[in-house]
Amino acid sequence: MSMRHVVKVQGGAAMAVAAVLALTLAGCGGGDDNKPQADPKPETSESPAGGTQSSAPVATPTPTQVIATVNGEGGMVLTINSAAREAGGFLTVSGQLKNTGTSPFVNTAPWRGNELNASGVSVAGVTLVDKAGKKRYYVLRDTEGRCLCTTGLAIIEAGQVVPFFAQFPAPPAGTTEVEFNLPTFATATVKLSG
């Protein structure tokens, strides 16, 4: 095969690829620019009560259960949404921390309790107390000593909401509530589920 034939084959292949691409792009083409655009506003209709109702679906946030709310220093508020037993014999407490103050909250170091450096700035100092069983539960740790909890809480800006979670060994099945304690926050009584 001479060089000329190779060039023809390559040129033919390039033309075939170009033709396929052109057909593909034509199939994906835009709409007809002469068609009238749809009105972006949802249609409304009169309701029997005299107001208007939108025919478009309205997304509403799923209500989140609040089982406890505790205040801390500097405008910090902790809302606990669940304290659920899970497979494997542990209990997960979850919720959110919110800075309701007007300035950044920087005093998060007490939240880590006696934690040295394995978890860094965290909520590893949180504990649960089973008064009936006379037992205190500490946050679980992984094999490297890091807490199974929220970490990286150096600064919480004004108005910022941060997800919160901490995992503990599960109290006995007969325990239905515990006292939740995070340093610098008030103590909360939390009902367990699961």
Residue 152: inside a domain, yes or no?
yes
What's the pLDDT band for 144 if we cut at 50, 70, 90? confident
**Residue 84, domain member (yes or no):** yes
- 44 located within any domain: no
CATH of the domain at 147: 2.60.40
Q: Is residue 159 part of a domain?
A: yes
pLDDT digits (tens, 9 = 90+) for 54-78: 444 444 444 478 999 999 999 999 9
Q: Above 50 in pLDDT, residue 6?
A: no
Confidence of residue 91 (pLDDT cuts 50, 70, 90): very high
What span, in angstroms and rounded, lies between the C-alpha atoms of 146 and 192? 25
Residue 73: partners with Cβ closer than 8 Å, 6 or more residues away: 107, 184
Does residue 83 sit within a domain? yes
| Segments forming the whole domain that contains residue 124 | 68-191
% the chain with pLDDT above 90 = 47
* Contact predicate 181/187, CB 8 Å: yes
Is residue 153 very low, low, confident or very high in pLDDT (cuts 50, 70, 90)? confident
Total of domains in the chain: 1
| Mean pLDDT of all residues in 146-153 | 90
Q: Could you tell me if 184 and 72 are in contact, meaning their C-beta atoms sit under 8 angstroms apart?
A: yes
Q: Which residues contact 155 (CB under 8 A, 6 or more apart)?
A: 104, 105, 106, 108
Give dist(CA 165, CA 159) in Å, integer.
Answer: 19
